[in-house]
Structure 1
Amino acid sequence: MTISLHVGIDIGKNKNVACFMKLDGTILLKKLVFDNSISGAESLASKTKELSIKDSFDHVVFGMEATSLYHFHLMNYLLITEELKPYRPTVYQLNARSIKNFKKSYPPKGKNDAYDAYIIAEKLRHGRLPKPYEVDEMYLPLQRLTRYRFHLVGSLVREKSYFLTMLFMKFSNYGDVFSDIFGATSMSIITDFFGPEEIINTPLEDLVQLLVDKGNKQFSNPETLATELKRICRESYRMSPKLTDSVNLILETSMNNIRFFEQTIRKLDSVIARDMAKLSNPLMSIKGIGPVFSAGIISEIGDINKFEDQSQLAKFSGITWNSNQSGEFDGEDKPLNRAGNRYLRYYLIEAADSLRRHNDEYRAYYQKKFQESKKHAHKRAQVLTARKFVRPVFSLLSKNQLYRSDRG
């Protein structure tokens, strides 16, 4: 019979706190403070071994919240250290939201590290835990790249949003001119002209020539575009002269940030594609799925065999819906359960968006769900398409087979 020691760990950047507990809830050591360093990890392992010998434990279960990356080294150390191997250590990376909800069932005691470690130990012994953490050196380097790309894309979206806000200060009606505000010609207009008045006062033929030169002759009717540009400048609010220099500097700096993010993302995409070429990747057999999206999906899943079926994979990614039902009422507007892996969810949804644009089967499915939805039609159809996509992801990775369009 397995006798387990449960160790809840509250993670901090510099200090960690551990609580040691038996399966019956008996606390063996309420508070062990140790540094978040190799020497601190060694002290935790030594104390764990000491208590295991004293109380004849043959299995140790560690649990900690996923706290940025501060828990990363400790998780890996606990699994590979020789000192703990006789006790078959299992490590759980716990979702902060699940711990927060679990904590609500206990008397409120405020926020302190020792109590948080105790709550985590309690969660370990009560069960209903996620899949144990495993050291995965095959996909970990790729996962770092795809997660950094996720971070950069978020930064790019925020920077573009801020840019558009400041652009309204300079050209309040500018969004009506170019289909792509961030295109080369548009960016040139924004930075080359001091404000709306300068565009209004520029001779029409000079403005037309500028559009031809900057647009590499891609505009079919530059005269009409130049006339429209002058019109919207006349309709735009006039900014205070005292603000002009500041706003122009902000727009220029923000534009440089946008270019940096875009260039870095392209560089990352190239490296990801190169690394993916070394791995078996059946997801690439699906039209519309490229190396970047498949890398984000595969690196987050890791070993597909840890999932029993596609529904478990969907739950792991957080692409499931909370019920909205009471009595005979069953609401259509069911919130998405976001407790899963946000990186996997992001790449699945992005892949679904690519599929609806490049794959006839998924385009038809997206359109069907879009028409059925009464609220949030695009987002709902997009996520439902991602949920459909989970099925072939699980099937292809489990069997290492290429995709056929007649397979669900």
Structure 2
Amino acid sequence: MAQVIFAGIDISSLKCDLVCLDEQGHQLAPAKSFANNREGASGLVEVLDHLAHKFNIQQLHIGLEATSVYGIHLREFLLDASPLKAYPTEIYEINPVMVAGFKKAFGARRPKTDVMDVYVIAERVRFGHLTPYRREAMVTEPLRQLTRLRLHLVELLTVEQNRALNLLFLKFSNYHQDRPFSQTFGRASLAVLQEFTPDELVEMPLEDLVDFIQSHGNNRLAEPGEMAKTLKQLPP
């Protein structure tokens, strides 16, 4: 008779797959799929509660693959589910990289199942050496998501700026190297790049170019005269 159920849950934006194993790795019931919404979460809890009663289990260990944000609502639902409070329950968020690495350990002895990934998650929970999720971590969850978003945007901006610098080289080969402006993508610099060709900068009176730089720099640039001179000396 099983004393512990090791449940693996594979989560996507639309559904959750569930596999439950006992201590020996035997599958306690056929794999089931549930919609990734409140109704689906309720159905998943009912299955866990049913198996817990059927096998008179003493502990419940649930592993969720940490796939983006798709498992957050289910994780919180499981923590609050009244039927599961009858058993000592631990929930683990498992990095997909860890799951992929553990999957390789099966080699040619992979189980014959249509839901290999969720089976591997359950086996990884059974293997142990995981840190249970603690609700205190939810306090920093919004900040973590915002930090990840900011990092993604910074990386995306860097890629696009490098692409722009490659194109800029075709118009002003020395523009980025000579740095007439401290910020190549600053407001005044972009205005110059959008309005003038190299030949037009050479022909433009110095005073007019200084006025143009000042007006597009909100009169905050320290040495617009030196910037204008550098621009007029740039090779095409």
TM-score scaled by structure 1? 0.51
Cα contact 1:78–1:89 (8 A) shared by 2: no
Task: For 1:19, give the aligned amino acid.
Answer: V
Question: Which position in structure 2 is the counterpart of 1:116?
Answer: 117
Cα contact 2:210–2:224 (8 A) shared by 1: no
3-state SS of paired residue (1:191): helix
Cα contact 1:63–1:93 (8 A) shared by 2: yes
Question: Which position in structure 1 is the counterpart of 2:182?
Answer: 179
3-state SS of paired residue (1:56): coil
Cα contact 1:6–1:62 (8 A) shared by 2: yes
Question: Which position in structure 2 is the counterpart of 1:44?
Answer: 44
Question: Which position in structure 2 is the counterpart of 1:17?
Answer: 17
Task: For 1:164, give the aligned amino acid.
Answer: L
3-state SS of paired residue (1:139): helix
Task: For 2:172, give the aligned amino acid.
Answer: F
Cα contact 2:5–2:59 (8 A) shared by 1: yes
Cα contact 2:9–2:121 (8 A) shared by 1: yes
CA distance in 2, matches of 1:155, 1:167: 18
* Structure 1 segment 73-84 matched on structure 2, within 5 A: 73-84=73-84
CA distance in 2, matches of 1:214, 1:34: 57
Q: Sort the Cα spacing of 1:207 and 1:150 in 2 relative to 1 into closer, same or farther, 3 A.
A: same
Q: Structure 2 unaligned runs (5+)? A: none
Matched, 1:197 2:230: no
Alpha-carbon shift at residue 48 of structure 1 (Å):
0.7
CA distance in 2, matches of 1:220, 1:119: 64
Structure showing greater radius of gyration is 2
- Aligned identity (percent) is 36
Alpha-carbon shift at residue 230 of structure 1 (Å):
2.0
Q: For each residue in 1:61-114, what CA deviation from the matched residue of structure 2 results, as whole angstroms up to 9, or x when unmatched?
A: 11121111111111111111111111222111111111111111112569x861
Task: For 1:146, give the aligned amino acid.
Answer: T
Q: Sort the Cα spacing of 1:17 and 1:221 in 2 relative to 1 into closer, same or farther, 3 A.
A: closer
* Structure 1 segment 21-170 matched on structure 2, within 5 A: 21-107=21-107, 114-129=115-130, 131-136=131-136, 137-170=138-171
Q: Sort the Cα spacing of 1:150 and 1:61 in 2 relative to 1 into closer, same or farther, 3 A.
A: same
Q: Sort the Cα spacing of 1:16 and 1:198 in 2 relative to 1 into closer, same or farther, 3 A.
A: same
Cα contact 1:11–1:64 (8 A) shared by 2: yes
3-state SS of paired residue (1:93): strand
Task: For 1:132, give the aligned amino acid.
Answer: P
CA distance in 1, matches of 2:221, 2:4: 70
Q: For each residue in 1:288-313, what CA deviation from the matched residue of structure 2 results, as whole angstroms up to 9, or x when unmatched?
A: xxxxxxxxxxxxxxxxxxxxxxxxxx
Q: Sort the Cα spacing of 1:116 and 1:207 in 2 relative to 1 into closer, same or farther, 3 A.
A: same
CA distance in 2, matches of 1:77, 1:166: 51
3-state SS of paired residue (2:118): helix
Deviates more, 1:202-211 or 1:57-66: 202-211
Question: Which position in structure 2 is the counterpart of 1:3?
Answer: 3
Cα contact 1:10–1:113 (8 A) shared by 2: no
Spell out structure 1 runs of 4+ moving beyond 4 A. none
Q: For each residue in 1:181-201, what CA deviation from the matched residue of structure 2 results, as whole angstroms up to 9, or x when unmatched?
A: 1223212212232x2222222
CA distance in 2, matches of 1:135, 1:65: 17
Cα contact 2:213–2:224 (8 A) shared by 1: no
3-state SS of paired residue (2:210): helix
TM-score scaled by structure 2? 0.85
* Structure 1 segment 132-281 matched on structure 2, within 5 A: 132-136=132-136, 137-175=138-176, 176=178, 177-193=180-196, 195-215=197-217, 216=219, 218-220=221-223, 222=225, 224-232=226-234, 235-236=235-236
After superposition, the CA RMSD in angstroms is 2.5
CA distance in 2, matches of 1:31, 1:74: 18
Alpha-carbon shift at residue 151 of structure 1 (Å):
3.4
Task: For 2:88, give the aligned amino acid.
Answer: R
Task: For 2:181, give the aligned amino acid.
Answer: F
3-state SS of paired residue (1:138): helix
* Structure 1 segment 313-392 matched on structure 2, within 5 A: none
CA distance in 1, matches of 2:43, 2:59: 18
* Structure 1 segment 392-403 matched on structure 2, within 5 A: none
CA distance in 2, matches of 1:174, 1:30: 65
What is the aligned residue count? 229
